[in-house]
């Protein structure tokens, strides 16, 4: 699995340890869903201003959000293709930091949750119904608990 990182913000430091956890999360999500790890994921770290602009442009929602997912896989993809892109994840580290305080857990845990959540979006899951939301939450909690990324 290749992770392409673009850090376009200057408010929060991204450690190598956090990057390694992010890679582990994506690989674990792929494995959980029965995929191999011959995929590429683009991950951009931005601030609230940039994610606000992206949210407005791509979703028509005029406010900042925590994470945006841009899936690339289609329903008829060939799983044997080499180095296919799963898609793009954009995280506002500024919003992740705010939410970590709001939810009373670490910044690292919040970023890891957002990556996990977004990876399941890249794999075709959504939280558009109560049942789909429950299914996504169960998957996210399973992955984070397996990797011992807990609410501290």
105 is in an annotated binding site: no
**Residue range 2-146, CATH number:** 3.40.390.30
Instruction: Give the CA-trace dihedral at 124, 128, 91, 76, to 10 degrees.
Output: 20
Q: Which helix (H) or strand (E) holds 42?
A: strand 39-46
Burial-class residue 83 by CB neighbours within 10 Å (0-12, 13-18, 19+).
Answer: exposed
pLDDT at position 79: 47
pLDDT at position 152: 63
pTM, entire model: 0.93
Query: What b/e string do you get for 40-73 counting C-beta neighbours within 10 Å, with b at 16 or more?
Result: ebbbbbbbbebbbebbeeeeeeeebbbbbbbbeb
Neighbours of 35 (CB within 10 A): 17
What residue segments make up the domains of the chain, in order of their start? 2-146
Please report where in the chains the tokens 């683009």 appear, as a residue: 42
pLDDT tens-digit profile, the chain (152 residues): 999 999 999 999 999 999 999 999 999 999 999 998 889 999 999 999 999 999 999 999 999 999 999 998 765 544 444 458 899 999 999 999 999 999 999 999 999 999 999 999 999 999 999 999 999 999 999 999 999 998 76
């Amino acid at each position: 699995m290749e992770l392409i990182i673009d850090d376009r913000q200057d408010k929060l430091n991204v450690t190598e340890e956090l990057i390694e956890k992010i890679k582990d999360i994506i690989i674990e999500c792929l494995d959980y869903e029965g995929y191999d790890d011959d995929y590429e994921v683009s991950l951009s770290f931005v601030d609230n201003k940039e994610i606000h602009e992206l949210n407005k442009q791509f979703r028509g929602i005029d406010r900042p959000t925590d994470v945006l997912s841009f899936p690339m896989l289609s329903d008829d993809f060939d799983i044997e293709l080499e180095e296919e892109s799963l898609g793009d994840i954009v995280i506002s580290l500024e919003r992740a930091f705010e939410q970590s305080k709001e939810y009373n857990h670490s910044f690292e845990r919040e970023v890891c949750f957002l990556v996990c959540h977004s990876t399941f979006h890249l794999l075709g899951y959504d939280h558009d119904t109560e049942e789909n939301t429950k299914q996504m939450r169960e998957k996210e909690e399973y992955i984070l608990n397996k990797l011992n990324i807990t609410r501290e």
